[in-house]
Structure formats: structure tokens, C-alpha cells
Amino acid sequence: MPNLRFTEKALSDWMLGNANDSDIAISSRVRVARNLQQLPFPLVATNEQSIEVLELLTDMDKYDDLQSFGTFYMLNLNDISSLDKKVLVEKHLISPSLADESHYGAVILSEDESISIMVNEEDHLRIQCLYPGFQVRDAWEKATAIDDIFEAHIDYAFDDTRGYLTSCPTNVGTGLRASVMMHLPALVMTQQINRILSAVSQVGLTVRGIYGEGSEAVGNIFQISNQITLGQTENEIIENLHSVVLQIIEHEKNARDRLLNESKLRMTDRVKRSYGILSYAEIIDSKEAAQRLSDVRLGVDLGIIDGPSTPIMNELNVMTQPGFLQKTFGEIMGNEERDVYRAKLIREKLGSIKV
């Protein structure tokens, strides 16, 4: 039986850590994409070639240096259910592509879930490191150290001019994607968000939703990441992202101060209305839940209410997703059923917290 401990709880251990600016920067992630020199990319590989990649990259005895980063577990995605794969996506431990499209995919996870090594996704190897708050530099240091461990044992597909070769041309070069998940409700409320995001796109960065490319930004949560992987060094990419995120944090703080100074009564009413709805609603869809949770998170950060802690808010963001809801209550549900159980779960979670 596969080890499914990773799908049984919503909150990853790494999310419990303290970090700077965690009221705005929820988490930081760095991912590097790599491919093997001697084998075709996963998109055109035969079944036999995909199995060869899987066996080569999941031979944990070969990569025993990984143990310096803790205990690791390997999940072969052919051995787990579609629902468990969906939960892993909702926890950002694997990509939607690995869950839905890979026939011989696997993921190697650290015990605290801060390290996720995906095999046979769009690329042969994708190394992902996650940190709470704004710690993108630390995430990069860990990702490159793990990358060095693999590179010591296998030959990467590399070109002296183009750098690391990847399935998608937009990843060629460094193969690096760094991102910071940000909660930016005040910029949305003060109608500054479009101007800020437009400026971000002018400096080689892009904005995506909570689950990356193609996903919607719900609950005022935006993922800021690098768009350029070719023509810049890894350190230049990380420092550019670091600098821009610092500026966005400052803009969000100023916008929050403005809301408190100019519209405190309206803000208080909005936050408490959302808290009341979450505490008593009998049915709530995922989009409304995300928006109401955003209001409550902001209210706690601004001192308007003594509400749920940051870990509880992070936990609720995962627990209210469709896959985790069905996993929690042990049954496959339609949309309306999920809306009923989502409301029930939120009521129970918030019931013991006094405003």
C-alpha cells in the first residue's frame, strides 16, 4: 500500500514555521526543471523509456545524500486514487499536469512536505522547495543544493548556449521558476491591483492564480513569479523577484493603512459580516468561501478581530477545496453536496474561536 499520510491532513508541517511578512506573503516556492541527456522528453517518450526514467530517478540508495534534508517517501502515482492525487495538487505538492497526464509519474516527498521532487511530469525531473512567508532566497538555496545531488549522479540535457533543455521553450535556460504566494486584499479594495500587476509584467515577472498557470486568482491570492528563464542567471532571477515582492508588500501595507484610516467602520463591518456568514452558513461555494476567508484573514492581520491564527487560515484554504472535502468526509460529492459540507467544516473549525 502506498504511504498516504500526505493526503490525510490539510496543513503541511512546513507551513507552521514563522517568517517575515507572512501576513502578506503566504509562501515562497522555487522549482527547477531538468531532463536526462540520453532519453526523450516525457511528452514523446515510450512507456518503456518512461519506466526507465522512473526507475533511475527514484533509486533512493543512489541519492542517499538527500537524507541530509530529512526523511523522504516515494509515491508512485499509478498506485493512488484520483482523489488522493487531487488532494496532493490542492496542497501544492504535485502539479495538475503530473496528476492528470502522467502515466508513469511519481513524487518524492520530504516528511514535512517542504520538498517535492516530481518525476515524469512535463520534464523528467522537477525539484520544488516550499517555505512559509517571504523566504524565496532560502527556497532557492535548498533547491540548488538538491539539484546538485541529482546532477552528481546523472547527465542532464544541457546546451552550452541555451542552458538546461526543457520540454517547454519558456523554461529553457535556467529551468528556474520562483514564486511568492501573496494575499493582496487591500490593493484589490483600493483598486490599485491592476496598476501594480501591470507594472510587474514590465520587469520580467508574471501573475498567476493560486494553482499556477491557467488558474484563477481567488480570495485575493496572487502568485508572483519570474517569466524569464533564459538570458539571466539564477541569482539575477531570484533577486529581481525578491526586489519586486518587497515593493508589492510595501504597497499592500500602505493600502491597508489607508483602509484603516479612511474606512475603518466599513472595514470592520465587512470583516465581521464575512466572519458571521462563515460561522453560520449552511451552504457556501468555493469562490464565496475564499472571499470570506480573505476578509477574515485581513481582519485578523489588521487587529479588527481576534480570530483564527494564520495556520488555521492556511488550513481552511486547503480543507475547503473539492478534493480534500471529499477525502475528509469519505465520499464522492456533487457541487451542491460539497457546498453543504464545506459550510459544515468551516462552522466546526471556527466554532471555538471568539471574536
Residue ranges of the domains in the chain? 5-180, 262-350
Is residue 214 predicted with pLDDT exceeding 60?
no
Measuring CA to CA, which residue among 82, 169, 48, 69 is closest to residue 112?
Answer: 69
Placement of cell 546523472 in the chain: 154
Confidence of residue 55 (pLDDT cuts 50, 70, 90): very high
Could you tell me the CA-to-CA distances from 51 to 17, 66, 152, 296 in Å, in that order?
A: 37, 22, 21, 47
pLDDT interval class at 1 (50, 70, 90): very low
The C-alpha cell 541569482 sits at 235
**pLDDT top residue among 20 and 154:** 154
> What confidence score (pLDDT) does residue 282 get?
97
pLDDT band, residue 212 (cuts 50/70/90): low
Q: What is the pLDDT of residues 77-90, one digit of tens each?
A: 999 999 999 999 99
Extract the annotated binding site. Answer: 27-31, 92, 126, 177-181, 208-213
Which residues fall in the annotated binding site for ATP?
27-31, 92, 126, 177-181, 208-213
Please check whether residue 32 is in contact with residue 150, taking contact to mean a CB–CB distance below 8 angstroms. Answer: no
Q: Which three cell numbers stand for residue 203?
A: 520587469
CA–CA dist 354, 57 (Å, integer): 49
Q: Is 64 exposed, middle or buried (0-12, 13-18, 19+ CB in 10 A)?
A: exposed
Kindly report the CATH number that applies to the domain delimited by 5-180. 3.30.590.10
**Collapsing DSSP states into helix, strand and coil, what is residue 181?**
strand
Q: How far apart are CA 129 and CA 114, in angstroms?
A: 6
Among 3-7, 38-42, 129-133, 230-234, name the one with the lowest average pLDDT: 3-7
- Residue 208 is predicted with a pLDDT of 80
3-state secondary structure of 130: strand
Mean pLDDT for the chain overall: 92
